[in-house]
Every structure is written in structure tokens, then in C-alpha cells.
């Protein structure tokens, strides 16, 4: 089933499901090849701000959306840089746009960056967007129907687990959790690719036995009273993950250092506001129609952990890489220090 994923465009579709949280932003098409802008976009005569073209997803990226909604959080925006966000449904699309020089920064999965780097794609990881941390913040839930008969991990044998994509974080989480129960993830369970927005209905119609529920889909499913948690993202992967990071074009970063520093300063300022004023911040996104979700659930939800200063956990990258190698998803290990550059973050 997984052999058809050999091409990099498919291998790197790691975060689409977890990035499908129902943003109301427009999924704009990538810039046509004939209209590509050069990587160098330094301010010209007249101090024109540098346009930063950012490719993102549809969930877990609240700080980026707040940067658009509330300019008071971003004093450098419009001065040294402008932010042009294009949303993509999958990491593969973001990676293709990145390779075609249609975006300068991609919000993309931690594992995807290591897979891309191992394939020789030039990149820099300049900051963390959202984390998945043991015991801190929300951890993605895998849930079954309460009347399914699944009472423990041992009951997973012979069952079907829904994931948004193969070789995605959700796939790794599911396989690791199954292993932790003493089962074989290749023979004792089956997997089905289900879009995150359809996961709840797939479980209820019994197309799958267990589905994955990131926020805010977990809040909706949990509020229905029909589901029970079987395991979560940290059951078998009990390390902190930089679930989404900013993968940047090294040439663009080098040629626009001040604009990148100002952008990251505004980003971390926005994350700090979001962490300290979560409900108020999410209400702003609801009011601006940046997110399409039940306001009563979305505004008060427990969100994932985030790095207020934008730093990534380099040590944890090594641990995740060991898991990717063990799964035979990564053939050529990558030194995290060779691709992570936190020198542009505020001191």
C-alpha cells in the first residue's frame, strides 16, 4: 500500500490532515511558473518592504493568521516586510511551490524537512510554529465510538485506524502506539486514508474503527459524547516534536536578513500574545472569519504547546529522526544542526 509513495512529492505530504482544522482563509493557487519572482527581494530605492511569500496550511497556524488580523502585533509589517500567505492542503503542495520558487518560507512538518534535506533540497529551519509536547498543551487524540468494544490498546488487533496520509506524523504516532501495546503495526492493524474533516463520520459509519482528531475537531467530537479516547500522539512517541516549523529558502534569507529578523520578531511577539490571551485571540480570528468552527468550542479549546521565542528542540529532532530511520522512511540521516539556524530569532 505504501510502495506508491516513492516520489518526494508524495513522501513529503506529512501534515495535511493535521493542518485541516477549518480555517476560513482562501486556498489560493500557487503563483504560475511564468510569474515567479526572484529569490532576491531586497528593498529597492525608496525603501520598499520585502515581500515574504509564506506557504501555510489550514490549522495550528493561529499566530500567522493573527499577524494578518491584528497589525498592532506586528510593528515591522508594512515597513521592512509584507506578508503574503498562500494556503495549501498538503505539505507536498507546499514543497512543490517551494522548489518552484513560488514561496520563500513554508510552514511544514518536522519530519518533512528531514526527508526533504535527505533528498538534497536546500533549506533552513528558522523557527518553530507549533509543538506536540508530552504533558503540555493539547496532544492529538485517536478515538473510537464508545460502543465499539475497544476498551484498551490490546483491542486494536484486527481494527482499522484512520489517518490523513501515510508517512505522516499521524502514521508515525499510530504505528508507535500500536507497538507500545505489543502489537505489530504492519500485520495486526490496518490503515485507511481519511480526510480529517471526514474522520468523525468515518468512525460513526464504521468505515474505520479509530480516527485521529486534532483541534478543533476533537472538541466537536468530544462534545457529542459518542467517542472515547484510545490513545494519543504521545502514547508511543513520548518526546517533544516541533510539529510544524518554518522552512526557508537559504538564498532568500541571506539576501534579506533584516526583513527576516523583523518578521520573526513580529511572529514571536504574536505567539506571546496568543499564549497569554488565547480566548481573546481566537475570538478575533472567529470575528475576522479566518476560522470556520463552532465559536463556543474553538474559543475555549486547549491548544497545542508553542515556543514563545520560536526556538526548536534540536535534541528532540535527533530522537524523531531515529524513529523515521527505524520505520525505513528515511534512508539517509540528516544532522539537524546542518539545517536548523536559529540566529535570526530575537535575542
Residue-wise pLDDT for 76-98, tens only, equals: 999 999 999 998 866 778 889 99
pLDDT band at 54 (very low <50, low <70, confident <90, very high): very high
- The domains of the chain, with CATH numbers, are 3-38+47-134+240-339 (3.40.190.10), 141-232 (3.40.190.10)
d(CA 255, CA 68): 24
Is the distance from CB of 342 to CB of 126 less than 8 angstroms? Answer: yes
pLDDT range class, residue 332, cuts 50, 70, 90: confident
Pairing of β 190-193 and β 211-213:
unpaired
Would you say 103 and 56 are in contact if contact means Cβ atoms under 8 Å apart? no
Per-residue exposure over 286-311, b if at least 16 CB sit within 10 Å of its own CB, e if not:
beeebbebeeebbbebebbbbbeebe
Nearest Cα to 166, choosing from 90, 87, 229, 247? 90
pLDDT in tens, 274-315: 999 999 999 999 999 998 889 999 999 999 999 999 999 999
Amino acid at each position: 500500500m505504501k510502495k506508491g509513495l516513492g516520489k518526494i512529492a508524495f513522501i513529503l505530504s506529512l501534515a495535511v490532515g493535521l493542518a485541516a482544522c477549518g480555517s476560513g482563509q482562501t486556498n489560493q493557487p500557487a503563483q504560475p511558473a511564468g510569474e515567479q519572482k526572484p529569490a532576491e527581494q531586497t528593498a529597492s530605492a525608496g525603501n520598499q518592504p520585502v515581500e515574504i511569500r509564506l506557504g501555510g496550511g489550514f490549522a495550528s497556524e493561529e499566530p500567522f493568521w493573527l499577524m494578518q488580523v491584528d497589525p498592532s502585533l506586528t510593528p515591522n509589517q508594512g515597513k521592512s516586510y509584507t506578508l503574503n500567505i498562500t494556503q495549501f492542503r498538503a505539505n507536498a503542495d507546499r514543497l512543490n511551490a517551494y522548489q518552484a520558487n513560488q514561496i520563500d518560507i513554508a510552514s511544514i512538518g518536522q519530519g518533512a524537512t528531514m526527508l526533504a534535506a535527505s533528498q538534497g533540497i536546500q533549506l533552513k529551519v528558522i523557527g518553530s510554529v507549533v509543538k506536540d509536547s508530552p504533558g503540555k498543551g493539547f496532544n492529538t487524540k485517536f478515538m473510537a465510538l464508545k460502543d465499539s468494544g475497544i476498551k484498551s490498546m490490546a483491542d486494536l488487533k484486527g481494527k482499522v485506524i484512520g489517518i490523513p496520509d501515510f508517512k505522516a506524523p499521524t502514521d508515525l504516532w499510530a504505528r508507535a502506539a500500536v507497538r507500545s501495546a505489543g502489537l505489530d503495526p504492519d500485520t495486526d492493524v490496518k490503515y485507511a486514508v481519511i480526510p480529517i474533516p471526514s474522520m468523525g463520520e468515518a468512525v460513526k459509519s464504521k468505515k474505520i474503527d479509530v480516527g485521529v482528531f486534532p483541534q478543533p475537531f476533537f472538541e466537536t467530537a468530544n462534545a457529542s459524547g459518542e467517542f472515547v479516547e484510545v490513545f494519543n500522539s504521545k502514547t508511543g512517541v513520548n518526546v517533544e516534536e516541533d510539529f510544524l516549523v518554518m522552512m526557508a529558502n537559504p538564498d532568500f534569507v541571506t539576501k534579506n536578513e533584516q526583513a527576516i529578523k523583523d518578521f520573526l520578531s513580529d511572529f514571536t511577539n504574536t505567539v506571546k500574545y496568543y499564549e497569554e490571551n488565547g480566548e481573546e485571540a481566537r475570538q478575533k480570528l472567529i470575528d475576522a472569519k479566518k476560522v470556520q468552527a463552532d465559536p463556543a468550542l474553538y474559543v475555549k479549546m486547549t491548544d497545542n504547546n508553542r515556543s514563545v521565542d520560536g526556538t526548536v528542540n534540536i535534541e528532540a529532532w535527533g530522537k524523531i529522526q531515529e524513529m523515521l530511520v527505524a520505520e525505513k522512511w528515511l534512508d539517509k540521516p540528516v544532522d539537524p544542526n546542518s539545517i536548523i539556524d536559529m540566529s535570526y530569532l530575537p535575542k
